[in-house]
């Protein structure tokens, strides 16, 4: 079955019938998906299942999610670094090049995708299903925050932090990789406290 994505912006209003038509699905699976997103508090539901749904961000929930995601990525770095292949390192390097180009162009969506790809290498190589599922559950709450950061000076700093992470991985130094990972994700939490 083909997977289709629909891009939405923070604050955008979503309507079940329009989404169903755009995705080529009946209303039932779309309604079910929106209800699950609301249960995860990634969206704020409207008055009834066919009413409007808008994206929201609760600061405390995002802060809590950021702490959990940071620790999970630190664990991924700790486990994955000794297992990385040259192909894995090349994938991380290529993702950081895409990230740098996207940040320079002000393309926060592409920057976010490249960032996910870079860190995703470590998550994949770590091979811990509980870790992967935890990140998958909580990371979406950070995407708006990360995109805001990637559109600022902090995004340009992330290019250098990614390079430091890749260097630590190439040196097979899990302690350094964990420390850089901590700094990368801690910067998201700092951005949440002081978004400017």
Give the model confidence (pLDDT) of 148-186 as tens digits: 666 555 667 888 999 999 999 999 999 999 999 999 988
Mean pLDDT, all residues of the chain: 79
Q: Is the pLDDT reported for residue 83 higher than 50?
A: yes
Residue 187: pLDDT band by 50, 70, 90 thresholds? confident
Q: List the Cα angle 75/182/167 in 5-degree steps.
A: 85
Q: Is the pLDDT reported for residue 56 higher than 60?
A: no
CATH number at residue 110: 1.20.120.530
C-beta neighbour count of 114 within 10 angstroms: 23
Q: What would the mean pLDDT of 67-94 be, rounded to a whole number?
A: 97
Residue 55: pLDDT band by 50, 70, 90 thresholds? very low
Q: How many domains does the chain have?
A: 2
Residue 118: pLDDT band by 50, 70, 90 thresholds? very high
Instruction: Tell whether pTM > 0.75.
Output: no
Q: Is the pLDDT reported for residue 53 higher than 50?
A: no
Domain with 179, as residue range(s), is: 59-193
C-beta neighbour count of 59 within 10 angstroms: 10
User: Is there a domain that residue 128 lies in?
Assistant: yes
178 and 78 Cβ atoms separated by less than 8 Å: yes
Say how many residues make up the chain: 196
Between residues 45 and 36, the one the model is more confident about: 36
- On whether both 112 and 135 belong to a single domain, the answer is yes
Residue 195 tokens, joined: 């978004």
- On whether both 163 and 92 belong to a single domain, the answer is yes
- On whether both 160 and 109 belong to a single domain, the answer is yes
**Chain center to CA of 2:** 23
- On whether both 40 and 112 belong to a single domain, the answer is no
């Amino acid at each position: 079955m083909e997977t289709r994505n629909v891009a939405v912006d923070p604050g955008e209003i979503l309507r079940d019938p329009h989404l169903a038509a755009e995705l080529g699905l009946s209303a039932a699976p779309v309604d079910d998906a929106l209800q699950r997103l609301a249960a995860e508090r990634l969206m704020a539901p409207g008055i009834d299942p066919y009413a409007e749904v808008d994206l929201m961000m609760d600061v405390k929930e995002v802060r809590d999610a950021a702490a959990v995601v940071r620790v999970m990525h630190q664990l991924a770095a700790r486990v994955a670094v000794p297992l990385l292949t040259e192909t894995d390192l090349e994938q991380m390097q290529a993702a950081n090049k895409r990230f740098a180009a996207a940040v320079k162009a002000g393309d926060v969506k592409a920057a976010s995708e490249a960032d996910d790809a870079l860190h995703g290498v470590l998550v994949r190589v770590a091979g811990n299903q509980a870790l992967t599922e935890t990140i998958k559950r909580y990371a979406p709450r950070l995407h708006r925050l990360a995109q805001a950061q990637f559109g600022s000076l902090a995004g340009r700093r992330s290019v250098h932090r990614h390079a430091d992470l890749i260097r630590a991985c190439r040196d097979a130094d899990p302690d350094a990789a964990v420390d850089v990972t901590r700094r990368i994700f801690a910067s998201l939490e700092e951005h949440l406290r002081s978004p400017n």
